[in-house]
């Protein structure tokens, strides 16, 4: 495979940035944010350069690698720190650095009042570096480093305002739940090494043919656990909502566009594993399906604009996972949806940020309304994103989502029908809650009180939004034109094409649009045409109440894991004190006690001593006698 | 003079100098101690550089008659494993001296005594890893209890006397069991006509022992090491000792002394009693796994920062023990590397904890709060140390921990899988104190804490540097460890399990 | 008609003992004729010189090689001479303590608290008798381990015991206790020596000979009536075990150690043990060796019980002298391990252990004499707290001796323990090894407790002070400290010497 | 009549002496009992010397008497001192040292 020593700069630039900003400390306050942005941008430039390089090469030698150094080498366990840049990772590189840079720019203004802005940018750069390492690592172990790196960055950024106890808790929650996923990843690596003797993508890909299905299933499931944790999929989705504690740009970058999609990357990257493990693949589908519904439902019930977007992210990633679970047919679309989603969801998050910026950080949509007049640019950019996500042609979401739904139907048999209809239903709900957001925020009558002075955000903030908006309009069309992305990625996957079509594409599109229309309509009826009350009505169906509580995810986790965990902990603390240490102290006490008893023999009476001697003598005689006989 | 002996004599020379320093000249005392430890460190580094990677036999060998009547020799020598442990010890000691610059002053006795104890301890630390004569090893193993005992009891805080006694009795008990085994070996060796304590010669002894005999002798050693290591359920001395000792002492205690336990398992249990080691492996692996989870849970439940660190160490020692007895090159090298890394990550944790305690005059976690806003550098140091303790990729402990897990998995998948849950618990036991102490609003009593001063920065910086550097580039150490590890494994008659490809098909 | 041979006496060989006895006699004469003023100095001089001379003579004897003297009634073989030498060295160190008159009553005859006592103190009379008495005891002790016939053995036993009975009663302070200890020691001593004598009688009955070699021959031949042998061994053992203070014949030890003047206790604890164990070794190695299957189990049992009992009860002690007494019981148990191991290494180990233990014991008691208040020595452990603060060096030295007792490496005690246990295990007794190890663990418990008391507790202000040791005491402490640590770090010379010389000839 | 009877007698005497030491309180009497034991031993010795037809036993007996005499001297000295300071010869009163 072609080697290329330029890859490392992608990572190095932002990494250096973060280190500088952290080590220089206050000294860098003046210019830190600029440096960070510049570095991120230059990393993007490198990415573009790499892309052009890649395009100039023949398909088969488009992937390039760079070996940095021998990282760990013990016996047969031999891992290099080396990078792999191929058609798949380049997509991510561009997404990460591109969107990342935009969000850097946005943050310059958004965070301008925060005295820790430098630290914020350091974290952002750190994240970019880690995320790039994640997608560029050429082995599962290298990926692992990035995988936990982004976890760390996300922890730091969610907890950026950790002087608020709740935020600190949120960041901790995110890290811990991610670690559960990471555990899956380490399982995968262990199994891979133990049974295939290698942990590099290429190695595993080769061995995959020889290994038993059982092994591959095990690896697949382990990888799925990892993906589930990182991408906030069911059942490890609970952290994403709380993660909104972080500054909005963070939510846009990490918890919408990039990090949370790492799970999708992992699954697509490990296509060869799942190809060899149908069971695991089926599980992927199920997880995807459940999550896309889960997210959608939660999304309908939330009043906090960021929480709605978070829920929707969850649901959209559900779509991607679903796509990725559909095998070669779906990979490309999963990635496509990932990219388009990167644009429109980031855009909408930034929009939400801009709204909050204008509304004194108010997040409750029931306190919004009629903002269209006050922040037109935000309204437009957000609106474009909205059209993209609900999948109105020709906006980006239409292409990607529609493809996934179609492929789902084509999965064949009952499976296909179930998945397809789920996806379809999801589309409807998505349309509903996104419309709800639009209405509550922009078009419905104003519900905010007089001390609010909504205003449009400065250019540094709306420019990125605008760019992303453009992306969300065009990207879908561009990527799917002549199946551009599909063909681009194809060489990576083993296509075994039996394409039975359950429904003609046109039919599916029709159905989808119908569902979307229904969703939009019902939202309009419920919120536009009837007025909205400023506080969430209490008299609602149990289902709604559940939905508001994220379908009881936290309650369940608490009941199933937290409480028992705390119980075990306190129990063990007692046991350690009373039983384990108690036993030791007990032995000591026994010794002391017996000493105290025995010394009573020493009565102080000569006669008793003499008696003792006499007894001893007799005993001695007896003993010797017994032995002699 | 032999380098090892030289590095052992240096501290004693330092003490000899100290003797002539008047009590009043505290600063001079400290400087002399520091210089001495730095010199020793230099020697250690030089040894590491001049260590011949190709040669799997003991190096820097020295052997003199000591008590010929019992075939006891003053015999020194290091293989890769011993070498890096010595390196760790000699690197940590100066750090401890700098970090604990003022620890010695509110002690029961003069700083002079404190540093003399530290120095004599350093001599014994080197000796215990360097000796290739079982008896000599035992002498150091037991004798080094005394200085630590006085360090805890004389300069510690709180229930220091009680803790010191608990530590000493616990260790003595183990030590005496080991003495019984050593006597056993001695008699057996004599009976089979080779009255010696030379480890290489004795490694052949097991061929003439009955299984019963070998098991008993093995237990004598193993229990002693399990107490030192410490392995569940013989760990209860550690939290008390760590809580009462000065941070510096705790660093040496957990960072170095406890390693003697795991080192002993490798050098003595495995080498002398391979068959017994095999037959006890299931039990030991179980205990190790229990330690991992048990220690983690207790760390989560700990209210005192020093106890918390102690419990995390119990968990880590579980990993080390598991790696050793997994009997795979990965597990083995991983465990050895783990010993080294744990030395530094624990050092970092304890030192920063020490800085925090000195400022806040309390070691109760809940007394701290919002330090990140008041003392960012201190907070960061603690955070990084914590990250390395939870084995974050990119920091040194990740490499070792992962090697241990992988190595164990290839032979004992179940154990490895259970142990892996430890990494989730680790996230909890580090992030909970981080949240309590560093995050959240700055609580009363913490507003005016000062950030690290230059001395403290100088102390903590190299430690963190090593943690990060080895995370990205552990090869130098692995190159030293691997040959030794491979030798031991092959001596045990083990080979790594081949990839279980094609099973099922 | 039994024909009579005039006995032949090899004076050159007997010289060491005779010198000591001579010194003692001169001492008596001095008591009788020299003016009170000059006595102390001259007595001390006589005592030390005779001991030193005797040591010199002993070296000469050793150089002439093993030989028996006085019609086979004593044998100066390697082991015997080594034991004698240790006794002499210990005696010399102890004499330095005796020299510190503070320990002794001014007038033994005076009633406690009587007017007579008061003015005896006022004119500060000195009981210089202690010197000749000591010398007599030393002579007896030197004779005990080399005696090779039962008569000499018995006489030696009495010669070493009787002076000690008196010495025990001469304490200056707490005289009632002191006298009581004398009484107890005497009565029980006499009682046990009666057993000893009875043992002699039966052995004579069994073998129709009173020489160890004769008895050995009989045992080998197996001609005699085993009942007599059995009774003989049993009764003889009672006498010996009493002297070494093994359970259940130990009861006198704590009381006497506590009551007697500390200097005497030191001398007694160190030297008597050597003598008694010496004799024991000789008897069991030389004449009962072949009958080991009869007595060994019983002795092992006693050894085990002794170790355990001594260590356990010592934990509960509040008085430092009593604690040391019980620890000496425990050590008697360890030493028995050497006796029962019944092999060369056992012999060497026991001799080494006896010496180093004796030295450490003298040192420890020497330090006890230093801790005082207005009413004399303070032996209540609680009042020792904070000693490390008051006078670090004294405390450190004491700690050193305790560590030696506990058998911590780099002290002589550790080497001794290792040697003796390995010997015992070599002889196939696992029980001894295990119990010994556990007992040591328990023992460590209370030694460490004392160290904690001295170093980690704060002094209680109750007038407890550490007197500036007199030159003599200083010497004693210094010597014993040096020996204890030197032999811990580099014991090779002594061990080699013992290994090459120590053997019994029949 | 068989010489063994002397042995039995001496054994009995010895036992009486030993028991006496244990049961009697008065120091003097206790000491007497010890003397009784010694004499029992002497009797045994001479008997054996008769049985074995060697003189050693008798020689030992002589030594024993001398030694016993010395013991008396020392013993009485101690007992008298005690008596003078305590005005009692009962050994049960001498009970300061215990435990």
Q: What angle do CA A439, A442, A444 make, to 5 degrees?
A: 55
Task: Please tell me the distance in Å from A474's CA to the nearest CA on chain B.
Answer: 38
- Which of C231, C208, C349 is closest to C285 using CA atoms? C349
Query: With contacts defined as CB-CB under 8 Å, which chain C residues touch B19?
Result: none
Task: Please tell me the distance in Å from C275's CA to the nearest CA on chain A.
Answer: 21
| Residue in B closest to A147 by C-alpha | B393
Query: What CA–CA distance (Å, rounded) separates A543 from A450?
Result: 35
For the cut 90, the answer to whether the pLDDT of residue B311 exceeds it is: yes
| Cβ <8 Å between B68 and C492 | yes
Q: How confident is the model at residue C2 (pLDDT cuts 50, 70, 90)?
A: low
For the cut 80, the answer to whether the pLDDT of residue B395 exceeds it is: yes
- Touching chains, D (3+ CB pairs < 8 A): A, C
Which pLDDT belongs to residue B505? 39
| Under 8 Å between Cβ of D74 and C166 | yes
| Mean pLDDT, rounded, of chain C | 89
Which pLDDT belongs to residue B504? 42
| Cβ <8 Å between A605 and D99 | no
Lowest mean pLDDT among A260-274, A365-379, B115-129: A365-379
Residue C462, class by beta-carbon neighbours within 10 Å (0-12 exposed, 13-18 middle, 19+ buried)?
A: exposed
Which pLDDT belongs to residue C371? 86
Query: What CA–CA distance (Å, rounded) separates A294 from D26?
Result: 100
| Cβ <8 Å between A627 and C298 | yes
State percent of chain C over pLDDT 70.
99
Q: Which of A320-334, B273-287, C458-472 has the highest mean pLDDT?
A: B273-287
Which pLDDT belongs to residue C195? 94
| Cβ <8 Å between C183 and D49 | no
Query: What CA–CA distance (Å, rounded) separates C136 from C119?
Result: 30
Q: Is D2 left (phi over 0), alpha (psi -120 to 50) or beta?
A: beta
| Under 8 Å between Cβ of B340 and B316 | no
Which pLDDT belongs to residue B358? 86
State percent of chain A over pLDDT 90.
24
Contacts of C25 (CB under 8 A, 6+ apart): C132
DSSP-assigned letters across all residues of B163-223: HHHHHHHHHHHHHHHHHHHHHHHHHHHHHTT----BHHHHTTGGGGS-HHHHHHHHHHHHH
Lowest mean pLDDT among A30-39, A376-385, A497-506, C455-464: A497-506
Task: Please tell me the distance in Å from C359's CA to the nearest CA on chain B.
Answer: 21
**Which site among B439, B452, B472 would you substitute to test the A interface, given the most A Cβ atoms closer than 10 Å to its Cβ?**
B439
In which domain, by residue range, is C51 found? 11-501
Contacts of A593 (CB under 8 A, 6+ apart): none
Q: Would you say the pTM of this structure is higher than 0.95?
A: no
**Which site among A26, A27, A72 would you substitute to test the B interface, given the most B Cβ atoms closer than 10 Å to its Cβ?**
A72
Residue B75, strand partner residues: B63
Domain ranges of chain D: 4-86
Query: With contacts defined as CB-CB under 8 Å, which chain A residues touch C241?
Result: 616
Element (H, E) at A482: none
Using one digit for the tens of pLDDT, what is the confidence trace for B53-97?
888 888 898 999 998 888 899 999 998 899 999 999 999 999 999
C223 backbone dihedrals φ, ψ, rounded to 5°: -75, -45
Task: Please tell me the distance in Å from C178's CA to the nearest CA on chain D.
Answer: 9
Lowest mean pLDDT among A493-502, B62-71, B281-290: A493-502
CB-based touch A/D (3+ pairs, under 8 A): yes
For the cut 60, the answer to whether the pLDDT of residue D29 exceeds it is: yes
Specify the higher pLDDT residue, C115 or A16: A16
Which pLDDT belongs to residue B363? 86
Which pLDDT belongs to residue D1? 62
Residues 214 through 233 of chain B touching chain A, CB cutoff 8 Å: 232-233
Task: Please tell me the distance in Å from A586's CA to the nearest CA on chain D.
Answer: 24
Eight-class DSSP state of B437 = I
| Cβ <8 Å between C208 and D54 | yes
Q: What number of residues does chain A have?
A: 629
| Cβ <8 Å between C309 and A598 | yes
- Touching chains, A (3+ CB pairs < 8 A): B, C, D
Query: With contacts defined as CB-CB under 8 Å, which chain B residues touch C448?
Result: 165, 168-169
Q: What is the CATH number of domain D4-86?
A: 1.10.287.3510
Task: Please tell me the distance in Å from B319's CA to the nearest CA on chain A.
Answer: 15
For the cut 90, the answer to whether the pLDDT of residue A545 exceeds it is: no
| Cβ <8 Å between D41 and C200 | yes
| Mean pLDDT, rounded, of chain A | 87
Task: Please tell me the distance in Å from C312's CA to the nearest CA on chain A.
Answer: 5
| Cβ <8 Å between C187 and D48 | no
Residues 72 through 91 of chain D touching chain A, CB cutoff 8 Å: 91
Query: What CA–CA distance (Å, rounded) separates B57 from B203?
Result: 14
Task: Please tell me the distance in Å from B140's CA to the nearest CA on chain C.
Answer: 8
In a domain, C222, yes or no: yes
CB-based touch C/B (3+ pairs, under 8 A): yes
**Which site among A24, A74, A157, A167 would you substitute to test the B interface, given the most B Cβ atoms closer than 10 Å to its Cβ?**
A74
Q: How confident is the model at residue A471 (pLDDT cuts 50, 70, 90)?
A: confident
State percent of chain C over pLDDT 90.
55
Query: What CA–CA distance (Å, rounded) separates A110 from A354?
Result: 8
| Cβ <8 Å between D41 and C198 | yes
Q: How confident is the model at residue C435 (pLDDT cuts 50, 70, 90)?
A: very high
For the cut 60, the answer to whether the pLDDT of residue A498 exceeds it is: no
Q: How confident is the model at residue B501 (pLDDT cuts 50, 70, 90)?
A: low
- Touching chains, C (3+ CB pairs < 8 A): A, B, D
Residues 24 through 53 of chain D touching chain A, CB cutoff 8 Å: 24-25, 30
Whole-number Cα distances in Å, C407 to B17, B139, B151, B381, C44: 29, 11, 21, 44, 34
| Cβ <8 Å between C238 and A617 | yes
For the cut 90, the answer to whether the pLDDT of residue C356 exceeds it is: yes
Q: How confident is the model at residue A500 (pLDDT cuts 50, 70, 90)?
A: low
Eight-class DSSP state of A219 = H
Domain ranges of chain B: 274-496
Please name the residue that has the structure tokens 């997210």.
A295
| Cβ <8 Å between C251 and A612 | yes
Task: Please tell me the distance in Å from A611's CA to the nearest CA on chain D.
Answer: 6
Contacts of B142 (CB under 8 A, 6+ apart): B172, B175, C408, C409, C414
* Mean pLDDT confidence for B129-147: 92
| Cβ <8 Å between B441 and A163 | yes
Which pLDDT belongs to residue B263? 94
Query: With contacts defined as CB-CB under 8 Å, which chain A residues touch B442?
Result: 163
Query: What CA–CA distance (Å, rounded) separates A45 from B271?
Result: 58
Using one digit for the tens of pLDDT, what is the confidence trace for C211-250?
998 999 998 887 778 889 999 999 999 999 999 999 889 9
Q: Is A605 left (phi over 0), alpha (psi -120 to 50) or beta?
A: beta
CB pairs under 8 A between C and D: 136
Task: Calculate the dihedral angle through the C-alpha atoms of C49, C54, C59, C63, rounding to the nearest 10 degrees.
Answer: 140
CB-based touch D/B (3+ pairs, under 8 A): no
CB-based touch A/C (3+ pairs, under 8 A): yes
Structure token pair of residue C340: 């029962």
- Touching chains, B (3+ CB pairs < 8 A): A, C
Lowest mean pLDDT among A139-153, A607-621, C459-473: C459-473
Nearest to B424 among A149, A179, A580 (CB): A179
Q: How confident is the model at residue C463 (pLDDT cuts 50, 70, 90)?
A: low
| Cβ <8 Å between D77 and C166 | yes
Query: What CA–CA distance (Å, rounded) separates A96 from A90?
Result: 10
The number of distinct structural domains making up chain C is 1
Query: With contacts defined as CB-CB under 8 Å, which chain A residues touch B394?
Result: 145, 148-149
Which pLDDT belongs to residue C485? 93
């Amino acid at each position: 495979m072609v080697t290329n020593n330029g890859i490392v700069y992608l990572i190095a630039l932002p990494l250096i940035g973060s280190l500088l900003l952290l080590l220089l400390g206050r000294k860098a306050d003046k210019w830190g944010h600029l440096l960070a942005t510049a570095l991120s941008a230059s990393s993007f430039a490198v990415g573009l350069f790499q892309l052009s390089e890649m395009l100039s090469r023949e398909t088969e030698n488009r992937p390039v690698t760079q070996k940095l150094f021998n990282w760990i080498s013990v016996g047969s366990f031999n891992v290099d720190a080396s990078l792999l840049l191929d058609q798949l990772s380049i997509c991510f590189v561009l997404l990460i650095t591109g969107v990342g840079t935009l969000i850097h720019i946005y943050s310059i203004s958004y965070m301008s009042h925060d005295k820790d802005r430098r630290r914020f940018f350091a974290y952002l750069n750190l994240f970019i570096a880690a995320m790039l390492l994640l997608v560029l690592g050429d082995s599962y172990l290298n990926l692992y480093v990035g995988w936990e790196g982004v976890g760390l960055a996300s922890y730091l950024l969610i907890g950026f305002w950790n002087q608020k106890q709740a935020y600190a808790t949120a960041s901790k929650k995110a890290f811990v739940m991610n670690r559960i996923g990471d555990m899956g990843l380490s399982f995968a690596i262990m199994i891979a090494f133990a049974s295939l003797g290698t942990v590099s993508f290429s190695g595993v890909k080769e061995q995959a043919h020889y290994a038993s299905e059982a092994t591959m299933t095990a690896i697949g499931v382990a990888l799925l656990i990892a993906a589930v944790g990182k991408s906030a999929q069911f059942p490890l989705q609970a952290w994403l909502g709380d993660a909104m504690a972080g500054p909005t740009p963070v939510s846009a970058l990490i918890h919408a566009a990039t990090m949370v999609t790492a799970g999708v990357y992992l699954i697509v990257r490990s296509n060869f594993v799942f190809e060899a493990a149908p069971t695991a693949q089926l599980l992927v589908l199920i997880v995807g399906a459940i999550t896309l519904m889960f997210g959608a439902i939660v999304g309908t019930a939330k009043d906090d604009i960021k929480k709605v977007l978070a829920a929707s992210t969850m649901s959209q990633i559900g779509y991607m996972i679903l796509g990725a679970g559909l095998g070669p047919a779906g990979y490309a679309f999963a990635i496509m949806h990932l990219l388009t989603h990167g644009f429109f969801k980031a855009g909408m998050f930034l929009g939400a940020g801009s709204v909050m910026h204008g509304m004194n950080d108010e997040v409750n949509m029931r306190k919004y309304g009629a903002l269209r007049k006050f922040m037109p640019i935000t309204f437009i950019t957000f609106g474009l994103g909205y059209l993209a996500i609900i999948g109105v042609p020709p906006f980006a979401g239409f292409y990607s989502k529609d493809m996934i739904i179609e492929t789902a139907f084509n999965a064949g048999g009952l499976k296909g029908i179930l998945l397809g209809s789920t996806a379809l239903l999801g589309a409807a709900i998505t349309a509903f809650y996104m419309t709800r957001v639009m209405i509550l925020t922009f078009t419905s009558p104003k519900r905010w009180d007089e001390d609010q002075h909504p205003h449009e955000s400065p250019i540094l903030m709306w420019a990125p939004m605008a760019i992303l908006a453009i992306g969300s309009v065009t990207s879908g069309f561009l990527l799917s034109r002549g199946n551009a992305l599909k063909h681009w990625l194809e060489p990576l996957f083993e296509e075994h094409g039996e394409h039975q079509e359950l429904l003609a594409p046109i039919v599916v599109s029709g159905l989808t649009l119908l569902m979307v229309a229904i969703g939009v309509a019902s939202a309009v009826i419920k919120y536009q045409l009837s007025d909205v009350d400023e506080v969430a009505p209490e008299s609602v169906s149990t289902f709604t109440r559940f939905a508001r509580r994220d379908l009881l995810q936290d309650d369940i986790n608490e009941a199933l894991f937290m409480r028992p965990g705390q119980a075990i902990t306190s129990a063990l603390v007692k046991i350690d004190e009373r039983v384990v240490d108690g036993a030791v102290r007990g032995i000591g006490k026994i010794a002391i006690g017996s000493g105290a008893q025995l010394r009573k023999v020493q009565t102080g009476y000569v006669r008793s001593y003499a008696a003792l001697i006499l007894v001893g003598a007799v005993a001695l005689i007896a003993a010797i006698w017994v032995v002699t006989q | 003079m032999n380098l090892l002996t030289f590095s052992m004599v240096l501290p004693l020379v330092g003490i000899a100098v100290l003797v002539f320093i008047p009590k009043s000249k505290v600063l001079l005392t400290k400087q002399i101690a520091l210089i001495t430890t730095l010199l020793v460190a230099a020697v250690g580094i030089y040894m590491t550089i001049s260590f011949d990677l190709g040669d799997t036999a003991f190096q820097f060998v020295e052997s003199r008659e000591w008590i010929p009547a019992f075939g006891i020799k003053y015999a020194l020598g290091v293989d890769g494993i011993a070498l890096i442990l010595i390196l760790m010890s000699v690197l940590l000691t100066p750090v401890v001296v700098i970090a604990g610059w003022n620890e010695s002053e509110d002690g029961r006795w003069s700083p002079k005594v404190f540093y003399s104890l530290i120095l004599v301890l350093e001599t014994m630390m080197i000796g215990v890893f360097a000796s290739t004569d079982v008896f000599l090893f035992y002498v150091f193993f037991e004798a080094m209890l005394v200085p630590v005992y006085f360090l805890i009891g004389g300069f510690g805080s709180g229930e220091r006397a009680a803790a010191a006694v608990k530590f000493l009795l616990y260790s003595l008990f183990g030590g005496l069991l080991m003495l019984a085994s050593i006597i056993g070996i001695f008699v057996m060796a004599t009976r089979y006509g080779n009255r010696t304590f030379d480890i290489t010669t004795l490694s052949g002894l097991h061929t003439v022992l009955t299984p019963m005999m070998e098991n008993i002798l093995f237990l004598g050693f193993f229990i002693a090491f399990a107490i030192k290591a410490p392995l569940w359920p013989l760990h209860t001395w550690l939290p008390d000792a760590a809580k009462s000792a000065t941070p510096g002492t705790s660093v040496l205690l957990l960072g170095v002394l406890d390693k003697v336990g795991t080192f002993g398992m490798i050098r003595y249990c495995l080498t002398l009693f391979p068959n017994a080691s095999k037959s006890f492996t299931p039990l030991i692996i179980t205990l190790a796994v229990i330690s991992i989870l048990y220690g983690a849970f207790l760390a989560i439940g700990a209210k005192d920062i020093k106890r918390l660190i102690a419990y995390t160490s119990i968990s880590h020692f579980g990993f080390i023990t598991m790696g050793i007895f997994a009997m795979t090159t990965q597990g083995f090298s991983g465990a050895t590397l783990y010993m080294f890394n744990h030395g530094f990550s624990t050092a970092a944790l304890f030192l920063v904890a020490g800085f925090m305690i000195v400022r806040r005059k309390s070691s109760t976690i809940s007394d701290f709060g919002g330090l990140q806003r008041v003392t960012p550098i201190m907070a960061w140091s603690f955070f990084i140390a914590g990250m390395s303790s939870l084995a974050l990729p990119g920091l040194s402990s990740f490499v070792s921990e992962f090697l241990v897990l992988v190595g164990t998995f290839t032979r004992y998948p179940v154990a490895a899988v259970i142990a892996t849950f430890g990494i989730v618990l680790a996230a909890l036991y580090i992030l909970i104190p981080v949240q309590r102490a560093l995050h959240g609003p700055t609580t009363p009593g913490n507003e005016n804490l000062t950030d690290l001063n230059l001395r403290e920065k100088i102390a903590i910086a190299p430690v963190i540097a090593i943690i990060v550097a080895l995370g990205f580039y552990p090869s130098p150490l692995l190159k030293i460890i691997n040959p030794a590890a491979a030798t031991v494994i092959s001596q045990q008659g083990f080979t790594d399990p081949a990839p279980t490809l094609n099973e099922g098909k | 008609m039994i024909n009579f041979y005039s006995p032949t006496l090899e004076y050159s060989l007997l010289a060491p003992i005779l010198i000591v006895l001579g010194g003692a006699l001169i001492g008596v004469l001095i008591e009788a004729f020299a003016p009170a003023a000059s006595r102390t100095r001259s007595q001390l001089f006589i005592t030390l010189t005779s001991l030193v001379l005797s040591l010199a003579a002993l070296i000469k004897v050793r150089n002439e090689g093993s030989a028996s003297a006085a019609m086979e009634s004593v044998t100066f073989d390697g082991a015997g001479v080594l034991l004698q030498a240790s006794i002499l060295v210990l005696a010399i160190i102890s004499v330095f303590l005796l020299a510190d008159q503070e320990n002794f009553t001014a007038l033994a005859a005076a009633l406690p608290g009587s007017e007579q006592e008061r003015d005896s103190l006022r004119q500060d009379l000195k009981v210089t008798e202690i010197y000749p008495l000591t010398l007599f005891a030393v002579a007896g002790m030197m004779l005990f381990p080399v005696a090779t016939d039962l008569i000499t053995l018995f006489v030696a036993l009495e010669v070493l015991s009787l002076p000690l009975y008196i010495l025990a009663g001469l304490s200056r302070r707490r005289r009632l206790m002191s006298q009581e200890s004398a009484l107890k020691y005497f009565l029980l001593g006499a009682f046990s020596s009666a057993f000893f004598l009875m043992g002699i009688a039966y052995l004579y009955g069994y073998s129709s000979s009173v020489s160890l070699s004769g008895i050995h021959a009989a045992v080998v031949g197996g001609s005699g009536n085993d009942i007599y042998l059995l009774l003989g061994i049993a009764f003889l053992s009672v006498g010996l075990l009493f002297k070494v203070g093994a359970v259940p014949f130990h009861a006198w030890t704590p009381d006497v150690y506590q009551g007697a003047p500390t200097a005497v206790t030191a001398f007694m604890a160190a030297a008597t043990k050597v003598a008694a164990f010496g004799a024991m070794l000789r008897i069991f190695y030389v004449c009962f060796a072949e009958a080991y299957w009869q007595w060994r189990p019983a002795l092992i049992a006693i050894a085990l019980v002794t170790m355990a009992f001594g260590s356990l009860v010592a934990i509960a002690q509040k008085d430092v002298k009593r604690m040391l007494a019980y620890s000496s019981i425990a050590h008697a148990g360890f030493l028995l391990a050497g006796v029962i191991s019944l092999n060369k290494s056992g012999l060497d180990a026991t001799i080494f252990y006896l010496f180093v233990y004796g030295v450490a014991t003298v040192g420890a008691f020497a330090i006890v004499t230093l801790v005082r208040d207005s009413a004399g020595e303070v032996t209540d452990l609680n009042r020792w707290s904070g000693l490390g603060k008051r006078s670090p060096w004294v405390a450190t030295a004491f700690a050193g001796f305790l560590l030696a007792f506990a058998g911590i490496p780099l002290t002589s005690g550790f080497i001794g323990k290792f040697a003796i246990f390995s010997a015992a295990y070599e002889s196939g007794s696992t029980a001894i090894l295990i119990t010994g190890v556990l007992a040591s663990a328990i023992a460590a418990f209370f030694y460490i407790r004392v160290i904690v008391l001295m170093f980690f507790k704060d002094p209680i202000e109750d007038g407890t002070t550490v007197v500036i040791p007199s030159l003599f005491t200083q010497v004693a402490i210094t010597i014993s400290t040096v020996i204890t640590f030197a032999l811990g770090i580099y014991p090779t010379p002594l061990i080699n010497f013992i290994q090459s010389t120590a053997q019994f000839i029949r | 009549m068989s010489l063994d009877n002397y042995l039995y007698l001496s054994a009995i005497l010895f036992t009486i002496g030993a028991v006496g030491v244990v049961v009697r309180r008065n120091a003097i009497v206790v000491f007497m009992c010890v003397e009784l034991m010694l004499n029992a031993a002497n009797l045994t010795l001479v008997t054996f010397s008769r049985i074995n037809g060697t003189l050693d036993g008798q020689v030992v007996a002589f030594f024993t008497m001398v030694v016993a005499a010395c013991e008396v001297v020392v013993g009485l000295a101690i007992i008298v001192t005690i008596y003078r300071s305590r005005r009692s010869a009962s050994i049960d009163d001498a009970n300061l040292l215990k435990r």
